[in-house]
Structure 1
């Protein structure tokens, strides 16, 4: 059992989760990373040199029993959990006509039920000790629904509502909940995102948007702010100027915002006329697209993917 405060990062094997785990370790926390993929976890532990991570655990955030076993195991074998941050997410990009019920189910189970499963499972332990922190990484997509990301936005809207209500419900208990609302960040997550419809064309706009400085922010700097907010018990953290702008404009002019999103939707690639739709991961969509311009525009994102364990060849995101 460690004497260090214990932090659990669910979705901590790559991308933003891995960056947050590293930042927590720098703050003196003994970090346990959890994710679905054991190879990704092994790669993350190797990347961290083993010193920053107490343990890695395979855990499916969609499965309440899997989350229960994770929490009980960490409490028993590592130490009392002080902080838990849920980062696990998936990105599905494409027109509504190419989305299925399964896309929505997977998004909601991962990014809405996931944070609920984690928070409500760890909460009795924190409340008994009358201290602790729960952080949920949501998205600007959970406050303003962007085009061609409807399953993602649906799940993130639910996560925002849950985390915000949880923070209010826990006031005065000694336990805090923080709703983290980032915009696009350069984590390399576009390499593992799923693209449907005209997959290569969808990648051609989303990959650069998730990579170009000014649109996508530096994830390590963002992670420092996230950890600051969670450990200080701040109820809400809005990250990036575009996030602040989007939330304020939508709050003041919701009808106008929806119409602007509708216009953007009409400018993006259409669903295939045949009705068929192939699902491609970002790295495969990029390979098939083989566009020198897109390759250049996503160079920053590929560098981030290499650094943060997002490259498929190295062994799953976040808006």
Structure 2
């Protein structure tokens, strides 16, 4: 027998409520735009010029995550520096990746940190305060990668993983080989984790120099014009959204800050200086190095003290504004 129960009518907003909602959303957009601009400020690699081409992507990516708080994501990072006196993963990328893992878990989702064997010695022990050990996935760089990838595809099916976020993760250039900022090929030390972008998951790329996964969203001619060695190092792999920072850690922090602006107060602790100091120190204690100076010190891309943490603090202050 057909139900006689009438559907509950949608509550209509009064003109005042509608206007208040629109103003609130406009304030959020403006705050996130300020965060996006601050995160992209240039440290000498042309990030501001690249970021002009992706303006608004931070809001789009943050809205996707904020609207889907039960998102389950792979967060992929780790940029190995083989030319250093003591080769290791650099400090830019892992801090932001761990922050995003913590943020996703805080708002009700889950995250797996993904990297490869050259970076494992730094990343696995540094992740212990953020993730259980079985949420750190390490890909081989040899011929066993295909078997590893099959296991990952099974994990996606079982856990209903729906998103992949790349944070300062080198990808294949236009010529097919992963290259560092000096255009040197680093294939020998790099698992092809860009293939995770082709598994049908929602994808977000975060980078600062042009050779990171996601940068394929920028036209090759723009990459050549705006980035040194851009025609050689530009990554050919695109993502659904691309967020560009002066450092990739800043861009990842911007995404967390945008989640706070969009109402997720659970990430508040990640906006504190102390959290970032502790994670950076833990990485350095495990051997991580500055990607520019190659020194095993708590700095990122040659930036120390307020040159680095000043931007972290400013993004946090915008995110903690009281207008939303």
Coarse TM-score class (shorter-chain normalised)? 0.3 to 0.5
TM-score between the two structures when normalised by the length of structure 1: 0.42
Greater Rg by CA: 2
Q: Which has the higher helix share?
A: 1
Q: Which has the higher strand share?
A: 1
